[in-house]
Amino acid sequence: MDARRLGEAGLQGWRGRLADQVAPAVARRTSLELDQVRRVIGGLFLVLTVLYLLKAGRELARR
């Protein structure tokens, strides 16, 4: 799996809708293309989700 697909995987539901709203403004202000911005946003959401799940799993194991 490549980075593009990982970024796209993070754009499910409300996260995708948020990226659709934010990405055009970010793309206009940066040298990135619209799809690149969406993938970066999706990747960030994916990383945050994994970190949340790891934290929850550690807490569960601790108890």
Strand segments, DSSP code E, in 1-63 are none
Q: pLDDT grade, residue 50 (50/70/90)?
A: very high
Distance CA 45, CA 38 (A): 11
Distance CA 46, CA 61 (A): 22
Number of domains in the chain: 1
What's the pTM? 0.83
Q: Which domain holds residue 48?
A: 3-62
* pLDDT at residue number 6: 83
Q: pLDDT grade, residue 4 (50/70/90)?
A: confident
- Residue with the two structure tokens 């970066």: 40
3-state secondary structure of 22: helix
